[in-house]
Amino acid sequence: MEALSKTPSMLHLESNNMELNNLTNEIFSILENKFLFGFDDPKFCATQQHEFFTLPPLGKYVNNNGKVRILSIDSSGSTDGVLAAKSLAHLEATLRLKSHNPNAHIVDFFDIVAGSGVGGVLAAMLFTKGTNGNPLFTAEMALKFITENRRKMSTSSTGGFFRRPNKAAKMFKKMFKELTLKDTIKGALIPCYDNSKGVPFVFSRADALEMDGCDFKMSDVCGATIGDGAVEIKSVDGRTKIMAVGGGVVMSNPTAAAITHVVNNKHEFPLCKGVEDLLVVSLGNGEVNAATGNFQCSTKSLVKIAGIGAADMVDQAISMAFGKSSNCEKYVRIQGNNELINETNKAIADEKKDLLKISEGMLKQRNVESILFQGKKISQSSNMDKLVTFASELINEQERRKNSILPPVVLKQAPSPRTSSATTLSSLSSSS
């Protein structure tokens, strides 16, 4: 009825507009095909009716230059780092088995590690170079160390907000001696909070290799990221001074910081454009009160709740970024879930306080996937199954790189002028 009310001139104008729109679409189709596939190719020549032959599958043209492998480790949860350490031990054992290399290490299969709190200590242990060129610790050795010394890392020797060096500081000095951030084998990001400036501070290997004012002793880095009170530390050259508070206060889950660093650091990761170019495993350390009986409303417990809540939000946001397609296996989050702990594990928790057994139970739990604004979804696979699958992805990437022309990662090996937008220069804001 509406068409009958239009005049012939109006109908003629609509006809001309339709032809113009069709011509515009054809022009853009030609430009698009020329840009993507090369319009000189006979397969893409237009017919007299301006129709195109079927285009080849786009998958053929997808960037196949490899993926950057990220390991992220949370600050201390209810297991005081034992769950993350146990996950790493299981992952390293799986990698050794699948790669047929009994001497393989975690660092061999990752390009960068980010760790906060006790996760930062684990990162330092597994990625700092020892005298023989291998990392100071295997994952199994790190698990034993965390299990035996977790109390030293979670308590201070003196009261008050400003702490004097405690047993943990002496332990770290004995472990790392004079080793610094420059002595890490691969990329490393370990956060804390600079109370003197009121800003987060991220210790970074990339920055340490570029500026001496960003290089710190590994013993100080570990002391800073686990601290529950402000501790003054200085860079190796003495130019940068910060009043460090534990990383769990500001960044309990450092995965987002690691991804941001990689995507923006075009010097070391030149081919990475987004999450489609990443392989990420994020290790949690158990929910609050998984092994401690009834919850006590103490300041320390409230800080843990806030930290784990923030870690969950980071997990949900990253899960949304990776989506539900084939990318879902490119991002794996391992975290204990109180609601899924069976009666046996509850008895162990109440009677023996055996965090190692609790962590083993958590690895056998079904994996929990986060969905932004929709809560959590119980997966059909266990946490252990997820780690085994992810190990296969890591090995496939390792094998792919052997025949790759373009390396996805070009890590700095010596100091050089800054040529990238590596994201960790918040450290300069704390210079003395």
> Which sequence positions are flagged as catalytic?
116
* DSSP, res 33: H
Cα distance between residue 395 and residue 398, in whole Å:
5
C-alpha–C-alpha distance, residues 301 and 144, integer Å: 25
From residue 295, how far is each of 89, 286, 397 by CA, in Å?
30, 14, 43
List all residues 6 or more positions away from 390 whose beta carbon is below 8 Å from its beta carbon: 91, 279, 281, 329, 332
What six digits make up the tokens of 376?
Answer: 């959590």
| Dist. CA 187–CA 36, nearest whole Å | 34
Q: Dihedral sign for Cα 81, 87, 90, 96, please.
A: negative
What is the rounded distance in angstroms from the CA atom of residue 233 to the CA atom of residue 201? 12
Residue pointed to by tokens 């975290």: 335
- Rounded distance between C-alpha atoms, residue 218 and residue 269, angstroms: 24
Q: What's the CA gap between 119 and 251, in Å, rounded?
A: 11
Give dist(CA 337, CA 28) in Å, integer: 52
How far, in Å, CA of 401 to CA of 67, rounded? 10
**Is the Cβ–Cβ distance between 240 and 197 less than 8 Å?**
no
Q: How many CA atoms lie within 13 A of 311 on its CB side?
A: 33
Dist. CA 209–CA 212, nearest whole Å: 7
CA distance 213 to 431: 8
**Structure tokens, 257:** 């910081």
Q: Which two tokens stand for residue 150?
A: 């977790």
Joined tokens for residue 224: 């800073």
DSSP string, 217-269: BHHHHHHHHH-SSBEEEE-TTS-BEEEEE-GGGT-SSTHHHHHHHHHH-TTTS
- How far are the Cα atoms of 40, 193, 279, 339 from residue 211, in angstroms, in the given order? 49, 20, 29, 47
Q: Compute CA 14 distance to the chain's CA centroid, rounded to the nearest angstrom.
A: 55
